[in-house]
């Protein structure tokens, strides 16, 4: 309870613990099936971020009474099939009437305590590895404004529907100790939580940060969601990024939905970790390293 980890952890015995989380949100895409799948992947991600194996979930749904049954069915089916891909059983849930659709999951997983990933496990010299690109928020807001192409929307939808399962399993296999997932607080916000929990700082190479192919043009159009400006206000004082343009800076604070894992990989394990990620076809980009400067984040080009 004393650290801002991605999920609650309840000790079962000396070896195992339950991991419990919940998340839901309003539609981020028009297609109801994709919306359900993205919401499920996003909800399960917090369990993966703890190095845990998800087991069981409950639907959390709020639908307008006049929403066509076909749409409600597609949302729930998208969530169910994504959960099945993760090896998760959805055992019911709860729904209420609401003016705007909302959907997500409450998820339970199990973890061996000595293999658990936390935000407080970073160490100076660790390499920071990100497993999905950034730019989902600025692109989805452009979509809401009618600016995106079908290809742009398909690109971010595919990423948001991708489970963090493989990355989490690889992290556990390599005995990593620190991780978080990148969601509403953006890259900097979630990194800062990790640094605060670990009492450390970070050096980030902006040119090494992966971005979806359309992020740059929508950043230039400044279609950032309101959450990006909130993140800048909350976390910006800890970031030094004088070399970056205003658009590049805002991408650091862009809220993500169902983003990737940010992993701390000990320097001596980095080469083997990246080679194994490539072998398993798990996306992984080295984006910086952990330093001993408390909460200080330096971003360079």
119-300 and 8-115 share a CATH fold: no
* pTM of the predicted protein model: 0.97
Tell me, what's the pLDDT at 66? 97
Tokens of 7: 């999920």
In terms of residues, how long is the chain? 301
* Angle at the Cα of 42 from the Cα atoms of 39 and 206, rounded to 5 degrees: 130
CATH superfamily ID and name for 119-300 = PurM-like C-terminal domain (3.90.650.10)
Range 174-185 burial, b when 16+ CB lie within 10 A, else e: bebbbbbbbbbb
Q: Is 158 helix (H, G, I), strand (E, B) or coil?
A: helix
Tell me, what's the pLDDT at 1? 62
Tokens of 32: 């109801």
Radius of gyration of the chain (CA): 19
Q: Which CATH architecture has domain 8-115?
A: 2-Layer Sandwich (3.30)
Tell me, what's the pLDDT at 33? 98
Tokens of 205: 């190479």
270, exposed or middle or buried, with CB in 10 Å at 0-12, 13-18, 19+?
middle
* Sign of the torsion formed by the C-alpha atoms of 245, 249, 254 and 258: positive
Other residues' Cβ atoms within 10 Å of the Cβ of residue 250: 20
Other residues' Cβ atoms within 10 Å of the Cβ of residue 53: 19
pLDDT along the chain (301 residues), means of 10: 83 96 96 98 98 98 97 98 98 97 98 96 97 98 96 98 98 98 97 95 98 98 98 96 96 98 98 98 98 92 90
- Beta-carbon contacts of residue 52 (< 8 Å; ≥ 6 apart): 7, 19, 109, 110, 111, 116, 168
Enumerate the domain spans of the chain.
8-115, 119-300
């Amino acid at each position: 309870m004393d650290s801002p980890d991605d999920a609650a952890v309840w000790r079962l015995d000396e070896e195992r613990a339950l991991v419990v989380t919940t998340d839901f949100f309003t539609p981020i895409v028009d297609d109801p099936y994709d919306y359900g799948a993205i919401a499920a992947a996003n909800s399960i991600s917090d369990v993966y971020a703890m190095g845990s194996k998800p087991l069981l979930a409950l639907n959390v749904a709020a639908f307008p009474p006049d929403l066509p049954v076909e749409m409600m069915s597609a949302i729930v089916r998208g969530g169910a099939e994504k959960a099945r891909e993760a090896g998760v059983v959805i055992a019911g849930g709860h729904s209420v009437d609401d003016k705007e659709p909302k959907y997500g999951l409450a998820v339970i997983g199990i973890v061996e305590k000595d293999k658990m990933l936390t935000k407080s496990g970073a160490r100076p010299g660790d390499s920071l590895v990100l497993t999905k690109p950034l730019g989902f928020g600025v692109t989805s807001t452009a979509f809401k404004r009618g600016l995106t192409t079908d290809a742009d929307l398909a690109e971010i939808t595919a990423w948001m529907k991708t489970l963090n399962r493989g990355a989490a399993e690889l992290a556990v296999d390599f005995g990593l100790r620190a991780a978080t997932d990148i969601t509403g607080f953006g890259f900097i916000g979630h990194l800062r939580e990790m640094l605060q929990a670990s009492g450390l700082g970070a050096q980030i190479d902006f040119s090494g940060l992966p971005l979806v192919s359309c992020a740059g043009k929508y950043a230039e159009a400044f279609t950032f969601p309101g959450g990006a400006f909130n993140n800048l206000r909350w976390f910006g004082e800890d970031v030094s990024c004088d070399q970056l343009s205003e658009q590049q800076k805002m991408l650091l604070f862009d809220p993500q939905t169902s983003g990737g894992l940010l992993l701390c990989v000990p320097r001596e394990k980095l080469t083997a970790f990246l080679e194994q990620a490539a072998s398993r076809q798990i996306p992984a980009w080295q984006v910086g390293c952990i330093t001993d400067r408390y909460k200080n984040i330096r971003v360079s080009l």
